Amino acid sequence: MLYCERLFFEGGPFFHLYTEPLKDDLLFRNEEELNEGLNMLAIAVTETRCDLLAFALMHNHLHLIIEGRQADALECYSKFQSRLAVYLRKEQRQNLAYASKVKITPIESLKQLRDEVAYVIRNPFAARTNVNLFAYKWCSGYLYFNDLLSWLPCGKPACEMSIDQRRAFKHSRDAALSNKIRVFEGVAVPSSFVDYKRTMSFFENARQFLQCVMKNVEAQVEIAKRLGEEIVLDDAELWSVARRICREQFKIERPKDLPAEEQVKLIRTIKFDYGASNQQIARCLGVQLAMVNQMFPLSVRK
């Protein structure tokens, strides 16, 4: 048994905890509010008996990979949610903290753990075209296998801040903070509350980690479907999916070589199973946009 497999079976349990994206409003409207979200998460993690392996805070939802009992994982989110409600109360937005349902998925294999971590890290990149998935400040993606991590600011222990600063940090009269949390310019540093070294131990090496994040398209699609989130693949990823389907189902190497009937089947698969837009289908499969628009008129861009 490989070292990382033994760690998985001896550790755990593991869970992917996530919230449904808000459709009509935002939890965090700007960078300042996302920074506050980091602080709330750091406090919640250090006040509960669980370990945070990966996270992503988005403007309208969040993802957490947690090692620990399910009750502790849910308590961690409950503490985060309560602090978020207090923070949002100043603008009468506290109902948003409870508007998004929290869901939790048990992680039952090492492969699933790797796939779920990769999904969380990739989430900001999939949702926003201007995001570098290894440089998004409100996600743990930059922590893993990063030789430059020691060059980044590690901050100072939060417990060394003045009592007024700690109260402002917590938005509470209670100034108690874990000595694990480190703060830089008023914001919790993720390396101080994410057990990223533990997460790295579940991957054989940096190459495997990067392949899970960047190359394992099928796992990303499967998880997105299970979570009810939008599937977002770039053109290169969709092209690789189309090539694989052609080889496996139709025994043909390229989509453009398919007979008309099988080309229609491929287009429908790409549309319904992989969430491609009409324009993307036309680009990647080399077919006329008018033909795709005729097949899916409700998807035509207004």
Considering only the C-alpha atoms of the chain, give the largest distance between any 2 of them, rounded to a whole number of Å: 72
pLDDT of residue 129: 64
H or E, element range at 56: strand 51-57
- Show contacts of 197-201: CB within 8 Å, 24+ apart: 198/51, 198/53, 198/67, 199/53, 199/54, 199/65, 199/117, 199/140, 199/143, 199/144, 200/144, 200/145, 201/3, 201/4, 201/7
- Rounded to whole angstroms, the Cα distance separating 145 from 149 reads 9
- Rounded to whole angstroms, the Cα distance separating 65 from 68 reads 10
pLDDT of residue 35: 96
**What is the three-class DSSP state of 203?**
coil
End-to-end CA distance of the chain: 55
Cα angle at 34 between 125 and 126, to 5 degrees? 10
Q: What length does the chain have? A: 302
Token pair 């417990």 in the structure block, residue:
159
pLDDT in tens, the chain (302 residues): 688 899 999 998 999 999 988 888 888 989 999 999 999 999 999 999 999 999 999 999 999 999 999 999 999 999 999 999 999 888 888 888 888 889 999 999 999 999 999 999 998 877 666 778 788 999 999 999 999 998 998 899 999 999 999 999 998 898 889 999 999 999 999 999 999 999 999 999 999 999 999 888 888 888 888 887 777 777 778 888 888 888 888 888 778 778 888 888 888 988 888 878 888 888 888 888 888 888 888 766 54
- Rounded to whole angstroms, the Cα distance separating 11 from 14 reads 8
Rounded to two decimals, the pTM is 0.86
- Rounded to whole angstroms, the Cα distance separating 106 from 244 reads 30
Q: Please answer whether residues 14 and 195 qualify as being in contact, where contact means their C-beta atoms are separated by less than 8 angstroms.
A: no
pLDDT of residue 128: 67
